Amino acid sequence: MVAIPISEADDFLAAPADRFCIVLLHGPDRGLVSERSLQASRSFLGEGAPGQKIYLSGDGIASDPLVLVDEANSIDMFQRSNRVICINVGGKSLLPALEMIAKAPPQNCLIVLEGGDLRRDAPLRKWAEAQSLVAAVECRPDDARSLLRLLEKELATARRAIEPSARDALLGVLGEDRIATRNEIEKLLLFTSGQDTIQLSDVQAVCYDPNLSQIDAVVDGFFSRGRQDMLDLLLNTHLSGADPTVMLLAMMRHALALQRSAGAVESGGNPNDALQALLRSTGGFSRKAELMRQLKSVRAEDAIELVRTLHRFTKATRENATLVSARLIRLLLSRPNRHRDRTGDSR
């Protein structure tokens, strides 16, 4: 298997090498897997050239491996044309079918395997690593740089400019999934049709859930702000009708993400890589400065203790859900962890 570097994935998929008859797309971003499958198919079939693309079920092939062999070696009765077979990898093994393909590679056929987040010891991934005719492309969620490149490309195509504040706010809500990211950009371009420049108010109107923005502010406030600031944030959130259960889940996710990134730094990891991981996990690109402060001041042990506190709190609220709002406010104001900076000073 040839593992294509992430930075070279787009160039490779624009012109897949003839020596590969199987392309394995895998990773946690299923939207990017689908997009790159389409990109590989279009490149192999060629613009305006005769060709055929078919979809097969991975579980169906697992039940009858000869289906893939027959389809891959089908010959067009009227013209010699390329063929692409896209397979959605399921829970059943494709190895019997793929081994037959590897022994006698088909002509003019590209097999695209659309996989999920395969572990390194997954049988399909281990098999692919031993095959010279397989190219593998990992599909990870976009980081800040790739999101910015994607946004700039879409804006240039639409001949649209964007204010810096609007750009930063938009990047803060993008990145979880490539298809979802494109959908958000398309909605924004449609909403601002007729405008030369996209403004912050446009992004807030189209892409932001006010409740979620206020919840982010409360979560950040717990780690970074004083008691009076927290009171003001809680009042605004309460008046907006934000769901306290959603707020609790957001705090739990944030604490877990912060614990992972803080732990990576404390173990000698690159602080910038840890920050990028935190931004991706929280979707907080527009809150980069705030999250950077948290990463510098919150220790992994503090974050994991907060996770334990939230877990106990969640269990208690299940027993008496009517008091969840009051208890959550009390928890937020109590600031149980006196977070310290890396020098050990209390905050």
**Which residue ranges form the domains of the chain, and what is each CATH number?**
2-138 (3.40.50.300), 144-201 (1.10.8), 210-334 (1.20.272)
What residue has token string 């208690």? Answer: 316
Torsion of CA 302, 290, 253, 282, to 10 degrees: -140
- CA 315 to mean position of chain CA atoms: 29
Per residue in 267-323, pLDDT (tens digit) is 888 898 888 888 777 767 667 888 898 899 888 888 888 888 887 777 776 666 566
Q: Is 310 helix (H, G, I), strand (E, B) or coil?
A: helix
Name the percent of the chain lying above pLDDT 70: 82
Q: Where are the alpha helices (DSSP H) in 159-270?
A: 164-171, 178-191, 200-207, 210-224, 227-240, 244-266
Predicted confidence at residue 222, as pLDDT, reads 74
Q: Average of pLDDT values for 90-96?
A: 92
Lowest mean pLDDT among 20-29, 232-241, 305-314: 232-241
Per residue in 200-218, pLDDT (tens digit) is 889 888 887 655 667 777 7
Average pLDDT, the chain: 82
The tokens describing 235, both together, are 């009042």
Residue 233 has pLDDT above 70, yes or no: no
Q: What is the CA radius of gyration of the chain?
A: 25
